[in-house]
């Protein structure tokens, strides 16, 4: 067959294509050149803002909404950067607990106002608290859990709050620092009230606070824009405009960060952090979060006619069989060791980590409990992000000691239905502290009467539940911490959990951003201390 012009043309074309592809492969990536700082007054944060529902402090309960609310409002007390460790005065200057032990008296700071000039006093605080108690939304429970009996204005700058029972100081104070406790402007509320909703609809996307920033606008799934409150009673923020820009895809956030189009990338995953780490102009800021991932074991679940997980030896065996190292390896720097229920960063943190992978020990425990040949069990997990990998690691770890795991992957909407109805056997889940106090975690993990995790896993343990209640009421800090020490150790060895790790938040940040201290929760983040300064090298 004669070779025609067409065949030659095709061959030439293919050669050209392959050659250009080869050439393209040899082009080095653009030399990182330190981009000049163009705008010192605007801070752009790339984040997936689609979770925000309302910026009304009485309603805000999602990551983005709470982070936004915290820029716009002040509270009686606050936890501040860089460490976010202790509660500090904000609108309240000082406080005491009265002799009846349930009434708190707050002295309100004098001479401070909202940006429109409306003064802030005890009446204002009472108004704000009454408002969120009346609206009774999800977020309110953080403070209403103390069964507030009365809020009384004693004089212009003195306010008394009477609780339903004795509460440990740090516990109450850290709850007051939650976004629900924000002080709102009564004048604006009354102006925009509609049909008795206490201006809740208007407050969805408007701000009525005294905080360092004012809400300029919220364009759903596009951006949230904050402008500096020039009349702020505290230290005025250096950044004049903060923008939460919506980027749903972490890779897109990373590219924008590398280009210098955004200053902070909030949602980068470990792969992207690996890529930007050490790149000229970018730094990675890590902070241990208040989230932990764990394996839940349903104590009352019937497996083959027996309540297998009801025997603590079986639960211990599971705790001794998990390959924690493999999990850490998979989480690539976004996990730190934790086996007790109170995270590092919260008082009451217990660093004990007695469990490690010991197949022999696990097997002997199982034999002791009457399962020398193991058993079959169902593990429920989600199909997103890292869960499938963790589930696989758990499955193979347990297989080595004779436990056959049937993995069932379900979407979040279905999983929590099953979990709340106590219909699971094993489950992989996550829990984050709502406020910076050990009670939050103790209640969830140890007190079944609260109907959270201990309840979901049918661990009806009265000792743990009573100890939790007592520790919440203990006014002496040292005694209180000792109780949490006892409680955490008890849950560690007897509870229905295998705590896998504590999460770490990692942020990609341009080096010209200073004063940015991310917080371990999602609602204490404070941008007012941040500023931008050109840094060379």
User: Taking CB under 8 A as the rule, which mask of x and - marks residues 30-49 in contact with other proteins?
Assistant: x--------x--x-x-x---
Alpha carbon separation from 394 to 32, 197, 366, 476, 534 (Å, rounded): 41, 49, 17, 41, 47
Does 6 participate in binding other proteins (rule CB under 8 A)? yes
Pairing of strands 513-514, 92-97: unpaired
Minimum Å distance from CB 204 to other proteins? 7
Total residues binding other proteins (CB under 8 A): 53
3-class SS of residue 310 = helix
Nearer to other proteins by C-beta: 223 or 485? 223
What SS3 state is found at 74? coil
- Check residue 294 and report its DSSP letter: E
**Judged by CB under 8 A, which stretch of 304-312, 364-372, 451-459, 496-504 contacts other proteins?**
451-459
Helices and strands (H and E) in the chain: how many: 18, 19
Contacting residue, 66, 394, 405, 429, with other proteins by CB under 8 A:
429
Cα–Cα dist 6/165, whole Å: 91
Query: Does 8 interact with other proteins (rule: CB under 8 A)?
Result: no
Q: Is position 245 an interface residue for other proteins (rule: CB under 8 A)?
A: yes
Indicate whether 20 belongs to the interface with other proteins (CB under 8 A). no
Q: How far from 133 is each of 137, 186, 434, CA to CA, in Å? A: 8, 15, 18
Burial class of 27 by CB neighbour count within 10 A (0 to 12, 13 to 18, 19+): exposed
Residue from 124, 452, 468, 528 touching other proteins (CB under 8 A): that is 452
305-364 residues near other proteins, rule: CB under 8 A: none
Question: In the stretch 473-502, what mask flags binding to other proteins with x, by CB under 8 A?
Answer: ------------------------------
Region from 230-238, 279-287, 323-331, 405-413 binding other proteins, contact rule CB under 8 A = 405-413
Among 431, 501, 512, 516, binds other proteins (CB under 8 A): 431
Residues 55, 57, 59, 472: which binds other proteins (CB under 8 A)?
59
Helix, strand, coil tally for the chain in percent (to 5): 35, 20, 45
277/493 Cα distance (integer angstroms) = 38
Residue with smaller CB distance to other proteins, 168 or 428 = 428
Q: Which stretch binds other proteins (CB under 8 A): 281-289, 321-329, 426-434, 481-489?
A: 426-434
From candidates 100, 413, 536, 537, binder to other proteins by CB under 8 A: 413
Q: Of 424, 423, 417, 444, which is closest to residue 432 (Cα–Cα)?
A: 444
CB of 6 to other proteins, least distance (A): 7
293 with 421: CB under 8 angstroms?
Answer: no
Q: Which is nearer to other proteins, 186 or 281 (CB)?
A: 281
Could you count the other beta carbons within 10 Å of the beta carbon of residue 227? Answer: 17
**Residue from 405, 378, 384, 402 nearest 394 by CA:** 405
Integer Cα distance of 204 and 401 in angstroms: 53
DSSP 137-161: -GGGHHHHTT---EEEEEETTEEEE
Query: Which lies closer to other proteins via its Cβ, residue 205 or residue 486?
Result: 205
Is the CB of 17 or the CB of 534 nearer to other proteins? 17
What does residue 181 show for φ and ψ, rounded to 5 degrees?
A: -75, 15
d(CA 472, CA 491): 17
∠106-444-410 over CA atoms, to 5°?
135
Q: Decide if residue 194 touches other proteins (CB under 8 A).
A: no
Nearest Cα residue to 434 out of 423, 449, 450, 419: 450
CB atoms within 10 A of CB 261: 14
- Closest separation in Å from C-beta 113 to other proteins: 29
Asked if 451 is part of the footprint of other proteins (rule: CB under 8 A), the reply reads yes
Binding test (CB under 8 A) with other proteins, winner from 86, 191, 325, 417: 417
Residue 379-398 contact track with other proteins, rule CB under 8 A, x = bound = --------------------
Minimum CB–partner distance for residue 185 and other proteins (Å): 22
Of the residues 77, 79, 168, 256, which one makes contact with other proteins according to CB under 8 A: 256
Rg for the chain (alpha carbons), in Å?
27
Instruction: Say whether residue 504 binds other proteins (CB under 8 A).
Output: no
Nearer to other proteins, 13 or 475 (CB): 13
131-160 positions binding other proteins, by CB under 8 A: 138, 141
Query: Which residue ranges make up the site for other proteins (CB under 8 A)?
Result: 6, 9, 29-30, 39, 42, 44, 46, 50, 53-54, 59, 61-62, 138, 141, 204, 219-222, 243, 245-249, 251-252, 255-256, 258-259, 261-262, 411-414, 416-417, 419-420, 429-432, 434, 444, 450-452, 455
């Amino acid at each position: 067959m004669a070779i025609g012009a067409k065949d030659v043309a095709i061959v030439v074309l293919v050669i050209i294509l392959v050659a250009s592809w080869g050439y393209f492969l040899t082009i080095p990536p653009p030399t990182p050149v330190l981009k000049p700082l163009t705008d010192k007054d605007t801070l752009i944060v790339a984040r997936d803002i689609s979770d925000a529902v309302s910026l009304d402090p009485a309603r805000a309960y999602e990551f983005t909404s709470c982070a936004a609310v915290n820029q716009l409002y002040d509270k009686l007390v606050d936890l501040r950067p860089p460490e976010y460790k202790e509660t500090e005065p904000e609108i309240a200057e000082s406080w005491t607990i009265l002799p009846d032990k349930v009434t708190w008296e707050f002295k309100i700071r004098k001479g401070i106002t909202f940006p429109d000039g409306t003064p802030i006093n005890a009446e204002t605080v009472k108004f704000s608290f009454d408002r969120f108690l009346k609206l009774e939304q999800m977020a309110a429970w953080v403070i209403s859990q103390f069964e507030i009996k009365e809020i009384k204005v004693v004089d212009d700058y003195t306010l008394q709050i009477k609780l339903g029972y004795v509460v440990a100081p740090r516990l109450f104070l850290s709850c007051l620092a939650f976004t629900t406790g924000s002080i709102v402007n009564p004048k604006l509320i009354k102006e925009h009230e509609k049909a008795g909703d206490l201006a809740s609809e208007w407050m969805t996307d408007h701000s009525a606070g005294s905080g360092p920033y004012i809400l300029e606008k919220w364009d759903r799934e596009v951006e949230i824009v904050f402008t500096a409150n020039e009349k702020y009673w505290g230290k005025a923020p250096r950044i004049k405009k903060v923008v939460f820009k919506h980027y749903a895809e972490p890779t897109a956030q990373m590219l924008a960060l590398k280009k210098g189009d955004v200053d902070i990338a909030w949602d980068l995953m470990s792969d992207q952090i690996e890529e930007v780490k050490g790149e000229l102009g970018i730094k990675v800021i890590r902070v241990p979060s208040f989230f932990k991932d764990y394996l839940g074991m349903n104590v009352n679940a019937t497996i083959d006619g027996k309540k297998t997980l009801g025997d603590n030896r079986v639960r211990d065996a599971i705790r001794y069989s998990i390959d924690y190292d493999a999990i850490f390896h998979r989480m690539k720097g976004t996990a730190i060791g934790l086996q007790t229920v109170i995270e590092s960063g919260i008082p009451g943190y217990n660093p004990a980590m007695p469990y490690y992978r010991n197949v022999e020990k696990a097997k002997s425990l199982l034999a002791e409990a009457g399962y020398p040949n193991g058993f079959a069990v169902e593990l429920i997990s989600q199909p997103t992000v890292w869960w499938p990998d963790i589930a696989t690691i758990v499955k193979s770890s347990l297989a080595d000691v004779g436990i056959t795991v049937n993995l069932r992957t379900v979407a979040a909407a279905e999983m929590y239905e099953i979990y709340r109805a106590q219909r699971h056997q094993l489950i992989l889940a996550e829990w984050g502290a709502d406020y910076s106090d050990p009670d939050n975690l103790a209640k969830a993990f140890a007190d079944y009467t609260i109907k959270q995790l201990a309840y979901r896993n049918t661990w009806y343990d009265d000792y743990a539940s009573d100890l939790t209640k007592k520790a919440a009421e203990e006014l002496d800090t040292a005694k209180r911490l000792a109780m949490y020490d006892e409680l955490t150790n008890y849950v560690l060895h007897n509870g229905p959990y295998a705590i896998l790790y504590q999460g770490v938040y990692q942020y990609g940040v341009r080096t010209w951003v200073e004063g940015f201290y991310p917080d371990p929760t999602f609602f204490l983040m404070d941008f007012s201390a941040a500023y931008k300064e050109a840094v060379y090298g």
